[in-house]
Amino acid sequence: MKYKAVLLSILILLPGASQVTAQQGTAAGKTPAGSQDSEPGGPITRQVILQRIYIDGEISEETVRETIWSMEDFWAQYTGWELVKQNEKRIIFQKEVNDISPLLKTNGYFGVCKDGTLSIFNGKPGAADIIQSFFQLDMKKLEGNKQKQLNLGIKISTKQQYEDVLETFQGYKVNKAAP
């Protein structure tokens, strides 16, 4: 995979130099395409977009401007990230994060919609936007204190809380079996 990424970099960054490594290309004084802001044989600059995908479905995006002196060092810096797209101006990486998003940690609440759908709200249920919906609950089976909790909102602060609430209410899921 690393070999393919380096080869792809060479093909994009050094048009017509597919037989030359990135270091040989810069040593020969060739300027990568799209790097007008660097001297021949010098570094190249790219916009790097880092997308983090959280278990709750949220995607955060961070944009940085990288000066690349060595492609090998650049790829090593992003070990663990998946290359999604690359061109002469930008490189996009993604990474799955085994945690809930910062948005949920700061302002996420489990609640129930008017139709009985278990959802996560950006703030307390009723006065906030829905971030994510899961499944419809059988409100007749749901105990009074659980209904009250959902109506008031159950704050989400950790991945464990997120998983526990989903597991708890899974037993109250409406079965949509054909008659």
Domain finish residue from 97, 132, 153? 97
For residue 154, give the DSSP letter. E
Same domain, 7 and 61: yes
CATH of the domain at 151: 3.30.70.1740
84-128 pLDDT, tens digit per residue, is: 999 999 999 999 999 999 989 999 999 988 888 899 998 888 766
By residue range, what is the domain housing residue 120? Answer: 102-170
In degrees and rounded to multiples of 5, residue 115 shows phi and psi of -85, 5
**Same domain flag for 10 and 85:** yes
Looking at the predicted structure, is the pLDDT value of residue 30 above 50?
no
CB 37 within 8 A of CB 47: no
* Assigned domain for 121 exists: yes
110 in a structural domain: yes
Q: Is the pLDDT of residue 149 over 80?
A: yes
